[in-house]
Amino acid sequence: MRADILLGLQWGDEGKGKVVDVLTPNYDVVARFQGGPNAGHTLEFEGQKYVLRSIPSGIFQGDKVNIVGNGVVLDPALFKEEAEALAASGHDLRKRLVISKKAHLILPTHRLLDAAYEAAKGKSKVGTTGKGIGPTYTDKISRNGLRVGDLLKDFDQKYAAAKARHEQILKSLNFEYDLKDAEQKWMEGVEYLKQFQLVDSEHLVNKLLKEGKSILCEGAQGTMLDVDFGSYPFVTSSSTICAGACTGLGMAPNKIGDVYGIFKAYCTRVGAGPFPTELFDEVGDKIRDLGHEYGAVTGRKRRCGWIDLVALKYAIMIDGVTKLIMMKSDVLDSFETIKACVAYKVNGEEIDYFPFDINEGIEPVYVELPGWNTDLTKMKSEDEFPEEFNAYLDFLENELEVPIKIVSVGPDREQTIIRYVD
């Protein structure tokens, strides 16, 4: 009986999809517990690249059970698109995927509200993915949401009432729209979704645990985007942290085993909001180019910067991380020196903790380490690592006080090195 959790520790896009796919053979079940199609999880293997949004990243590894938990928000139209694309490439999900009846539905009007609220915010907009995430979670918390289970009974009335309420708000915001095409696609998605196994997934999760099965819980977004502990208000609307796996799957905290915290060897962010170590110079451009730092779904340019250990330590504390995973090490292969932020300067005073507000006046304090100037991408074992890279790993482990168990040296499934540390 074990549920391990894999979480992003930065502002998302750390490489969660890749590592979930790599670790899936060690588990019986993979479960998503929050977020929705704002996520874009990339997997590469056998020369193919897949981007998953609502479907768990365990879907490609044999007959594992994949669960979309109650904490997820699901857009039937986008789900249909995603599942059909997978079916077309030979991956039929129907037997392997179960969806919680308690997962909330993203309505077409939620997407409109997302756009309308962003427009109303003007310069202070969040830079959302535009997928209706915020308005859907708002309806959930304000007890107005529609859930997957609602598709099975009196759905038309419930949908009409929700739509009418949303349209009133859109009108009050003077937001112009045309719903017809989107609504038609959405209704087709609803019919498609009904062919899947819609279950009370909290019962299933606990039954599987009782039978001794192991579960890997796949986080979306990252701890710095968490609605409580992230860089509020520039966050997403769900609990991206370790505790979110409990509420998002109906699983008690005493079922949690390892917590894998995943981070890039540097740092990125997409959308608006504070980013203390952001680079605006050619170094940032170089990281973006070498790391192909463009959104997996939207193609948006990701903002790039050095690793921020103040924020990482905070995330590790909130999530109770037991093992670290460092991604995209190869992106730093050709840097003479590498910087790591070890403290913030606020009003001239140096602090080493993550403060209430990082929106203004934070100046990163860096240490500089020698680069390794070596191609890591073909390495198969840590025995091959150059001295300077080992020194970087030692430095991070020393600062973060958690072992780095996995090092990723390229986007492919095979470019993953499991270290001996335990």
CA angle 380, 384, 389 (to 5 degrees): 110
CA torsion, points 19, 22, 27, 33, in degrees to nearest 10?
30
Residue 256 or 296: the one with the smaller Cβ distance to Mg ion is 296
Type of residue at 58: G
The catalytic residues are 13, 41
- The answer to whether 36 contacts ligand GDP (rule: CB under 6 A) is no
Query: Residue with the closest Cβ to ligand GDP?
Result: 42
- The answer to whether 31 contacts ligand IMO (rule: CB under 6 A) is no
Minimum CB separation from ligand GDP for residue 94, in Å? Answer: 24
- The answer to whether 328 contacts ligand GDP (rule: CB under 6 A) is yes
- The answer to whether 261 contacts Mg ion (rule: CB under 5 A) is no
| β-bridge partners, 93 | none
Residues of this chain, 101-140, that bind ligand IMO according to CB under 6 A: 126-129, 131, 133-134
| β-bridge partners, 365 | 343
Structure tokens at 209: 């645990």
- The answer to whether 271 contacts ligand IMO (rule: CB under 6 A) is yes
Minimum CB separation from ligand IMO for residue 294, in Å? Answer: 12
Contact with ligand GDP (CB under 6 A) among 4, 5, 11, 13: 13
Stretch that binds ligand GDP, among 22-30, 40-48, 109-117, 276-284 (CB under 6 A): 40-48
Pairing of strands 337-346, 48-52: unpaired
Q: What is the DSSP string of 110-146?
A: HHHHHHHHHHHHGGG-----SSSHHHHHHHHHTT---
Minimum CB separation from ligand GDP for residue 236, in Å? Answer: 12
- The answer to whether 270 contacts ligand IMO (rule: CB under 6 A) is yes
Site string for ligand GDP, 278-317 (x = CB under 6 A): -------------x----x---------------------
Q: What is the DSSP letter of 88?
A: H
Q: Determine the Cα–Cα distance for residues 20 and 280; give it in Å rounded to an integer.
A: 32
Give 374-378's long-range contacts (Cβ < 8 A, gap of 24+): 374/333, 375/330, 375/333, 376/329, 376/330, 376/333, 376/409, 376/410, 377/330, 377/333, 377/409, 377/410, 377/415
Binding partner of 330, given ligand GDP, ligand IMO, Mg ion, none, CB within 5-8 angstroms per partner class = ligand GDP
Q: Determine the Cα–Cα distance for residues 408 and 15; give it in Å rounded to an integer.
A: 9
Residue 201 or 408: the one with the smaller Cβ distance to ligand GDP is 408
Residue 242 or 296: the one with the smaller Cβ distance to Mg ion is 296
In the chain, the N- to C-terminal Cα span, in Å, equals: 20
Residues of this chain, 42-81, that bind ligand GDP according to CB under 6 A: 42, 44
Minimum CB separation from ligand IMO for residue 101, in Å? Answer: 23
Q: What is the DSSP string of 219-276?
A: --S-GGG-TTTSSTTSS-SS--SHHHHHHTTT--GGGEEEEEEEEESSEEE-SSS--T
Binding partner of 270, given Mg ion, ligand IMO, ligand GDP, none, CB within 5-8 angstroms per partner class = ligand IMO
Residue given tokens 């949690």 in the structure block: 256
Positions in the binding site for ligand GDP (CB under 6 A): 8, 12-18, 39-42, 44, 291, 296, 327-328, 330-331, 408-411
Residues forming the site for Mg ion (CB under 5 A)? 13, 40, 296
Give the interface with ligand IMO as residue ranges (CB under 6 A): 8, 11-13, 35, 38-41, 126-129, 131, 133-134, 220-222, 225, 236-237, 270-271
